Amino acid sequence: MLYMHDLWVNWFEGEENGYSVCQFHEWRKEDGIELVDQIPLLLIDDHLFHFIENDLQELPKSLLEDIYRRTYMKKNQERTTIDYAAVVTNGKAVLVFDTLGYSLPVKKSRLIPRQERLVFDMVEGKRPSYYEIDNPVPKEYHILSLSPENMAGLTRRERQLKQLLMMALDQLRHSDHPEEVGYWLTEWDPSQYEFIKELTTESSWQQLYYGTLEGWSKQHEELCGKLIKGQPFFETMWQSENQTDSKHIKSQN
C-alpha cells in the first residue's frame, strides 16, 4: 500500500457535493487546517472516486478494511490513530476523506497543489484498485443540494450565498404567507408585474426558483439579502460570508 506523509488538510464536514469541498485557492485564514502525519493513498476507478466525492453513502467494506487504523494525525506533538481515512485519486483529481469512525466519508478535503502533484507522480503507471459499492442509492439533486452545473464558475462565497438563497426560497415555499411569493417574484423581475398578478402561488414560486437557478449576480445577492432579513439563523450565515477576510492562505508551495 502507498502512503503519504505530512499532509495539510482543510476538512469540510457533512458535504455531499464535491463543489463544497473547496480547492486550495479558496481556503481561508480562519479555516481549521490540520496536519496528517501518515495516510494511505488509493488509486481507484472514476466511478468510485465520484461516488466518494459527490455523495455521503456507505463506502465499500473491503476499502474500509484496507485502510483501517493506517492513518495518524499529529496535533501538539501528539500522534493519534484514525480508524478510516485515506487519500483517493482517479489519476485526474484528488480527495482526502475521514469517516470519523463511521462508514461514510463524513469529512473531506482537497490538498495543496504540491502534494496533489505528488499524488499523481506516486500513482503514475499503476492500476486502480477495484472496490464494489454495496447497494448504492442513485444521487438526486434538489433545491437544498444543487447540481454541479448550477454551481459551475462560482466562487466559494457565491456558492455559500446561493445555498443560503435556496434555503430561503425553500422556506418561502412552505411559509404561512403564500401571498409573499408573488411579492418576491416582482422584486426579482419587476418588468413582469402584470403577468405575475395572474399567476398562482405555486407558479410564482416556480418562476422565482427557476429564474434564480442559473449563475450568480448582483441581482441574486440583493434578493438573498432582502429575503433573509429578520431571520437570525440566515442573517448569521449572511454576515459570516460578508465579513470574511477574502485573503487566501499563504501558499504552501
Q: CB count, 10 Å around CB of 235? A: 14
Where are the extended beta strands (E) located within the chain? 2-10, 12-13, 33-43, 71-75, 78-82, 85-89, 94-98, 107-109
Q: Which residue type is seen at 55?
A: D
Domain map of the chain by residue range? Answer: 2-123, 148-243
pLDDT reading at 162 higher than 80? yes
**Taking residues 7-30, what's their average pLDDT?**
96
CA distance 145 to 136: 18
Question: pLDDT band for position 248 (50/70/90)?
Answer: very low
pLDDT digit string, tens, across residues 167-203: 999 999 998 888 899 999 999 999 989 999 999 999 9
Task: Report whether 204 contacts 172 (CB < 8 A).
Answer: no
* Pairing assessment for the beta strands 78-82 and 12-13 based on DSSP bridges: unpaired
CA angle 60, 64, 67 (to 5 degrees): 140
- Residue of 10, 92, 22 whose CA lies nearest to 50: 92
pLDDT digit string, tens, across residues 93-152: 999 999 999 999 999 999 999 999 999 999 999 999 999 999 899 999 999 999 999 999
Question: pLDDT band for position 16 (50/70/90)?
Answer: very high
The reported pTM is 0.90
CA distance 102 to 177: 41
Q: What is the mean pLDDT of the chain?
A: 94
Model pLDDT, residue 92: 97
Question: pLDDT band for position 246 (50/70/90)?
Answer: very low
Instruction: Give the CA distances from residue 117 to residues 94, 204, 248, in Å, rounded to whole numbers and listed in that order.
Output: 9, 49, 20
CA atoms within 13 A on the CB side of 120: 10
Cβ-Cβ contacts under 8 Å for 117 (sequence gap 6 or more)? none
Query: How far, rounded to the nearest angstrom, does the alpha carbon of residue 202 sit from its chain's CA centroid?
Result: 29
More confident call, 75 vs 108: 108
Rg of the chain over CA atoms, in angstroms? 21
Question: pLDDT band for position 236 (50/70/90)?
Answer: very high
Cell of 130: 477495484
CA distance 122 to 125: 9
Task: Report whether 97 contacts 83 (CB < 8 A).
Answer: no
Three-state DSSP at 192 gives: helix
Model pLDDT, residue 78: 86
Name the one residue in this structure whose C-alpha cell is 432579513.
229
Three-state DSSP at 4 gives: strand
Task: Report whether 107 contacts 120 (CB < 8 A).
Answer: no
Angle formed by the axes of helices 201-212 and 179-188, to 10°? Answer: 30
Q: What percent of the chain has pLDDT over 90?
A: 88
Model pLDDT, residue 179: 86
